[in-house]
Structure 1
Amino acid sequence: MSNLIEKLMKRWGVQTYGGLLLILFIFSVTGMSALYVRKWVFVWLGFNAETPLWIEAIAWVLVVFPSYQLLFLLYGFILGQFDFVWNFEKKSLHRIKSLFVRGESL
């Protein structure tokens, strides 16, 4: 277990265990918050058990993905980890972009 923690600290450039815990906390709070946003938006849109799955799936991607990205930046800013979060965000979005753009590799 400590090997995984050390690898994360090295990969993310974190110096302390407290810094690592704070970053992991940001990830977890962001995920939970994005799901609350999804729930609120789905209720607002009137989705229910009769809503076709394909519509829910498309709405999920259109709601959860952007809300996660924005909340991740917001929580990173509030908790003093904006530089880490911003760099992580840029790398993640670049990887996603490379899946859809020809000639670009990871």
Structure 2
Amino acid sequence: MSFLHSLKDRWKLDSLGQVILILIAFACTGFTVMFLKTPIVEWIGGSEGNQTLYTILYYIFILPIYNIILLIYGFVFGQFSFFWNFEKRMWYRMTRQKHKIKSE
């Protein structure tokens, strides 16, 4: 079984086309966040100073931004419901509210 077929089964999708669209949405989100790093770090405090502190603050600020961008790309590629459920599962896992995750 190929990698794409295993993702299709794991994510309970209907077609390989959906898998490809979801992977493209993840890739676009990653590239967008990569391009946003410099402006966000400059907004936090510039390129001078403690780079470790700026990196930590960047990761704190980028998490909600990443999630919003992921939902936007999910909408653009017609896979919003997948990404909305993905975000809910991630939120429940981060907050340890496992009882609210529907059985997968």
Does residue 38 (structure 1) correspond to residue 37 (structure 2)? The answer is yes
Q: Deviations over 1:41-87 (max 9, x none)?
A: 11233422x42133113211222211110000111112111000000
Distance (whole Å) between structure 2 residues aligned to residue 44 and residue 62 of structure 1: 14
TM normalised by structure 2 equals 0.81
**Counterpart selection for 2:68 from 70, 85, 89:** 70
**Counterpart selection for 1:60 from 43, 58, 61:** 58
Aligned residues: 100
CA RMSD of aligned residues (A): 2.2
1:1-106 equivalent positions in 2, closer than 5 A:
2=2, 4-48=3-47, 50-98=48-96
Distance (whole Å) between structure 2 residues aligned to residue 78 and residue 27 of structure 1: 12
TM-fit CA distance, 1:33:
0.7
Q: Secondary structure at the match of 2:95?
A: helix
TM normalised by structure 1 equals 0.80
